Each structure stands twice: as C-alpha cells, then as structure tokens.
A and B are shown apart, each in its own frame.
Chain A
Amino acid sequence: DTEVTQTPKHLVMGMTNKKSLKCEQHMGHRAMYWYKQKAKKPPELMFVYSYEKLSINESVPSRFSPECPNSSLLNLHLHALQPEDSALYLCASSQDRGGNQPQHFGDGTRLSIL
C-alpha cells in the first residue's frame, strides 16, 4: 500500500466542468509534487510545493491550479480542460526538495476529458 493517497482514482469530465484532484501524505514530508504522465512517456513535472509554498511551476497552463492547504494535503483544481489533458496525474512527496531523498508516488488519478 502506498503512503501517498490520491483521490479519485478515475475521473471523467467534460471540457466545461470544474473538478479537483486530491493528494494526502502522512509521512511528515515537506515537499509535494504534481506530475502528468502520458502513455509510454516518463512523468512530466507540473508543480512543486516546498514547505507549503509553490516553488516550481513548469509553465503549466492556467486551467490547472494547484493548492497546498497544509503540509499533508495537495490539491489540483481543474477547469476548462482540453482533450489533450487526458493523462495519469501523479502526486508525489519527499522529505524535502533538496538533498538525496527519493520521491514516493501515489497511485495516481486517471483523467479522461470528453
């Protein structure tokens, strides 16, 4: 069982919908990440939060909006997505952003845009 929990596991939404992806970890990690992964490709970094502050935004379109309410929670708010945004969305956490610690992934949310 993963120690990073993502909900929902699957999400189907229309292009005009608003939805949110949620991620929770209870390992005391201070860095949390959102990745997007397309089939047969490696994960692609979207956002990094370090000590609850956004430290990296990899030029992600504004239809994706991250939020870190506290050190254990990370949300990704979705609005007016496009069909090409269909992908596996992965949340990860690590002890902190620097140093040698690995990132641990949740099971992901499979997102389909109609």
Chain B
Amino acid sequence: QKEVEQNSGPLSVPEGAIASLNCTYSDRGSQSFFWYRQYSGKSPELIMSIYSNGDKEDGRFTAQLNKASQYVSLLIRDSQPSDSATYLCAVKDSNYQLIWGAGTKLIIKP
C-alpha cells in the first residue's frame, strides 16, 4: 500500500513567521511531488510542483525535496492570515497514480 503521510495539525504559526509543512512518502519510484492549498469549502489549488532534489522557490513559497529520505516539505515565509488553509501533499507514484496525504491544517495567528 503506497502511502503519503502528513501531520494533520493544526499547525499554529504567528503572522510574519515561517510555516514549515512536511510530507513523507513510501514509493521510492515516485518522480513528481505537488503541494495544493485548500480553503474550507473550496477546491484544491496547485501552489508548487517539484521534481528533482533540492529547493524550488516561488515568491514566499519554497518546496524542498529529498528523494533519499523520501521527504518533501513546503516553507511559507512571512506567513499571512490568508495562508490559513489545509495544505495537501500529493505524490505521483511509479504507476503515475496521484497519492494524497491527509492534509495539514495551518492556522496563521495575527
């Protein structure tokens, strides 16, 4: 059973601080990794894709991938109340199936 694991939270972070969200996966053959943000009652919105080891930055967001440790993370710098949402980690496995984590609820405190 291929798995993607995330801490369900909630993760509470003060406004302006760095939020760090983590995800581990079981299929060592996975090649594509995605972070989606989902506001309550809304649909998932793609915020980052990462495919190779290292860091990928896009504005306040940085995705980090370590395939040896089977670990992917998302950092949000200068956290804003509007970043409060559930963050879903999704991993495309060796059969091209998208495996979802359960999501981490992030709360940014003003």
Give the number of chain A interface residues (Cβ < 8 Å).
20
A2 on the B face (CB < 8 A): yes
Are B96 and A90 in contact, with the CB atoms below 8 A? Answer: no
B16 on the A face (CB < 8 A): no
Quick one: given A41-B102, A42-B88, A100-B31, are A106 and B43 in contact (CB under 8 Å)? yes
Nearest chain A residue, comparing its CB with the CB of B86: A40
How near does chain A come to B7, taking the closest CB pair, in angstroms?
14
Give the number of chain B interface residues (Cβ < 8 Å).
21
Classify the secondary structure of A's interface with B: loop
Complex Cα gap A90–B92 (Å): 18
Complex Cα gap A65–B14 (Å): 46
How near does chain B come to A74, taking the closest CB pair, in angstroms?
15
Binding site for A on B (CB under 8 A): 31-32, 34, 36, 41-46, 49, 51, 88, 92, 96-98, 100-103
